[in-house]
């Protein structure tokens, strides 16, 4: 009926208004949080499958909200990406992670390991990116060969030719490049071969179903074999069980990252982990 139609309309418009208002509030809070420095980085080790040695660490951002506690990036990265706030936030992440890394890498008892930092699609497309990375390397004294930038498969495949030239420019700084969440988007193998990348990170959705699901196991095995043929390193994300690690070992996967080895830790806890055990 007409009345129902009106009510439905009113209902939806009220919903829309509310969610728009919530978004605006969150956007305002996010803007303030950047100014006030309410973010922190947590660090998750990446280990060699063969012997458990720590070969890298991924920096993961969190928002220390005054009332909301520690907020996961899944809740604010998408909005930061939409609004462009990811650009200043991402700059803070890269600078902070590189500065923090200096304290860890100078420990002579540790073999050199890599610092991995996420780049969002918007950051990756940003014109000033290469110059910014160069400036932060200089400013912090970060050795380029120990920095690895993670870019999602989706972001590089959106405009593969433009992506290729950005990747080449980044590569010329001497840093490493990883394709994140690999296997979730569609990738052209032809492009993959022409991209100057070092590492493929197999998306954690495959790990969840390994070894029980034949499909997930086959896809992961295929990605590992393909990476080896292309002379790339391959890392499996979201590794939670010994069975999954055994699978990776049998298939010749290079690196593993996940709760099995360690959850993401704050800087102090990660430093303690480094001092305590070179192998996980």
Where does 107-178 have alpha helices with state H?
Answer: 121-125, 129-140, 153-158, 160-171
Report the length, in residues, of the chain: 280
56 binds, among Ca ion, ligand C2E, none (CB under 5 to 8 A by kind): none
142 binds, among Ca ion, ligand C2E, none (CB under 5 to 8 A by kind): none
Q: Which position among 45, 56, 183, 238 is part of the footprint of ligand C2E (CB under 6 A)?
A: 238
Residue 235 as a binder of ligand C2E (CB under 6 A): the answer is no
Contact 204, 238 (CB under 8 A): yes
For residue 99, CA distances in Å to 110, 147, 196 come to 18, 12, 26
Task: Choose the stretch contacting ligand C2E; rule: CB under 6 A; options: 48-56, 69-77, 98-106, 186-194.
Answer: 69-77
For residue 274, CA distances in Å to 227, 248, 280 come to 29, 24, 10
Looking at beta carbons only, is 29 or 113 nearer to Ca ion? 113
Residue 160 as a binder of ligand C2E (CB under 6 A): the answer is no
Residue 96 as a binder of ligand C2E (CB under 6 A): the answer is no
CA 13 – CA 220 distance, rounded (Å): 45
CB of 159 to ligand C2E, least distance (A): 18
The residues that bridge with 39 in the sheet, in sequence order, are: 63
Query: Which positions lie near ligand C2E, rule CB under 6 A?
Result: 44, 60-61, 72-74, 77, 90, 93, 118, 120, 180-181, 204, 237-240, 258-259, 264
């Amino acid at each position: 009926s007409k009345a129902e139609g009106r009510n439905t309309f009113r209902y939806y418009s009220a919903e829309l208004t509310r969610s728009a208002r919530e978004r605006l509030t969150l956007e305002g809070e996010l803007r303030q949080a950047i100014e006030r420095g309410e973010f922190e980085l947590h660090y998750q080790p990446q280990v060699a499958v063969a012997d458990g040695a720590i070969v890298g660490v991924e920096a993961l951002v969190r928002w220390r909200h005054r009332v909301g506690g520690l907020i996961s990036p899944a809740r604010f990265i998408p909005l930061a990406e939409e609004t462009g706030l990811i650009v200043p936030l991402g700059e803070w992440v890269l600078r902070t992670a590189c500065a923090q890394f200096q304290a860890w890498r100078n420990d002579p008892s540790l073999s050199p390991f890599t610092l991995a930092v996420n780049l969002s699609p918007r950051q990756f497309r940003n014109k000033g990116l290469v110059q910014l990375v160069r400036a932060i390397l200089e400013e912090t004294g970060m050795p380029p060969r120990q920095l690895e930038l993670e870019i999602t498969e989706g972001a590089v495949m959106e405009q593969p030719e433009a992506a290729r030239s950005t990747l080449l420019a980044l590569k010329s700084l001497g840093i490493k490049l990883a394709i994140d969440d690999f296997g979730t988007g569609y990738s052209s193998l032809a492009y993959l071969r022409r991209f100057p990348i070092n590492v493929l990170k197999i998306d954690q959705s495959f790990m969840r179903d390994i070894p029980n699901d034949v499909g997930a196991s086959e896809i992961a095995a295929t990605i590992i074999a393909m990476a080896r043929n292309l002379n790339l390193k391959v890392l499996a994300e979201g590794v939670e069980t010994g069975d999954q690690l055994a699978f990776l070992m049998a298939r010749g996967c290079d690196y593993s990252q996940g709760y099995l080895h360690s959850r993401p830790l704050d800087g102090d806890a990660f430093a303690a982990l480094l001092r305590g055990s070179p192998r996980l």
